[in-house]
Every structure is written in structure tokens, then in C-alpha cells.
Amino acid sequence: MRRRLSLVLPFVAAAVLTAACGKLLSPPPRPRTDGYEGIVTVRAGGTELARFSVAVRGEAVRRSTSEAEDAPYFIRETTGGEVLEVNPSTKSYRAGTPAALLAHLDAFPLGPDFNHAAEAKRRGIRDYYRESDAVFAGNACNIWRYADRPEEVSSPSTTYWMTPALDGVVVRMERAVPKADGTEAKTYVELTQVRAGIEPEYFRVPAGFRRESVPAP
């Protein structure tokens, strides 16, 4: 019996070590393949307008209504899929709208791999430029500026702060609109505390939640 154990134990130990090493050697999650989650802060000048969490994985999007743990949230699994509003406190859900899902985010690039040339094409312009590089929330960023009307000296403009280390996720968007007094009105959408690796179940209604017949307003 002892001889049999002595022969078996090395194989068991090797299997355990192989499994452990496999986990240690597996690559860390990336926003491009595994999605990400972060905190969004929306500001107009120095005034905070909204703060909530957002998660993205491929076409799937989830946006909370606040930072509270049991706050209602909106989910969508695919670009053309149904939007649902989920309420953890009542364990229920109902139909939502794309506008509610993307509130404050309709102009903010949510996915990874921000492409500066594709953004210019989407806007229908040719003239844009890389303004500079800077660090935001601990992330080294490339800053791309797009004027609404490149031919005008004083034109509203948008800058996107894209971070290569996070697979091209945009972590800051600044909108500047010139005013008559020579200053600019600025609004910001900022993504912080980015964490890569979000499971697909995060974008689905939890088991046991009941569907309400009345849609969200």
C-alpha cells in the first residue's frame, strides 16, 4: 500500500502544480478581449453632473444610475439588442431605452481600439491633429483634437484622451465651446478606476428576477 502511494503521489503533485502554474502563466485580462469596468464622472466646468459605473465587453454595455450598490442599472448584450432596466432592490426588470442606457455617453467612445482616422471620417472632416501626450488618472494618453469646423479659427472642438496601455480605451473626453467673451465653456466625461476582465453574465438579468410589464419612462 505504501509503495502504491509513493508511486501515485508524485503524479498527483505534478497535476496540482501544472494547474497552478497554468493559472499563474495565463495572460492578464485585457479590455479588448475581456471587457472592462470603470467609474464615469460627468462635469460641466467645476460642477459634477453625474457619477456612475459603466461596463463594456464587445457589444455588451451596462450602465448604473449611481454608485450605490443596489442602484438600478441598464444592460444591453448586443448593439441592436433589447435594453433592460434592472432593479436589484425589487429583484425585477423591465424594458428600457437606448437613450437611458447611454445617458451622458452618447458621444463618448466606449469600446477599445479608438481609431483617430476613423473618428475623423465619422465626423466628415480631414483636418485634425494629435495635440499632445499627457497622463490622466495614472494612464499615459495620446490626445486627439477635432474641431467641428476645421476651417474656422474659433470653432467648438472635442478632444479624446486615449490610453494605449488599455487597448485604446478613451478615458477622458473634453468638449470646448467658445463664448462671446473669449473664454470657453467646457464639459468633461472622465473614466477612472478602470478594471479589465468582466464576465458575460454581468450583462444579463440575474436568475429569479421577475419582468414588469410597464416599460421604463
Confidence tier at 69 by pLDDT (50, 70, 90): confident
Integer angstrom CA distances of residue 85 from 19, 58, 70:
40, 20, 13
Q: Looking at domain 31-211, which CATH architecture does it have?
A: Clam (2.50)
Mean pLDDT of 98-111: 95
- For the chain, the structural domain boundaries read 31-211
Q: What is the per-residue pLDDT for 19?
A: 52
CA distance 142 to 40: 19
Cβ proximity of 118 and 125 under 8 Å: no
Cβ proximity of 40 and 54 under 8 Å: yes
Residue 176's identity, in one-letter code, is A
Mean pLDDT of 76-100: 96
N-term to C-term CA, the chain: 72
Q: 473614466: which residue's cell?
A: 191
Confidence tier at 8 by pLDDT (50, 70, 90): very low
Q: Does residue 2 carry a pLDDT above 80?
A: no
Confidence tier at 26 by pLDDT (50, 70, 90): confident
| Backbone conformation region of residue 11, classed left if phi is above 0, alpha if psi is from -120 to 50, else beta | alpha
C-alpha cell at 145: 483634437
Cβ proximity of 100 and 118 under 8 Å: no
How many helices and strands, by DSSP H and E, does the chain display? 4, 12
Per cent of the chain over pLDDT 70 is: 88
Q: What is the per-residue pLDDT for 1?
A: 52
Confidence tier at 177 by pLDDT (50, 70, 90): very high
Q: What is the per-residue pLDDT for 24?
A: 60
Q: Does residue 159 carry a pLDDT above 90?
A: yes
Mean pLDDT of 121-142: 96
Residue 100: count other Cβ atoms within 10 Å of its Cβ.
Answer: 15
Confidence tier at 25 by pLDDT (50, 70, 90): confident
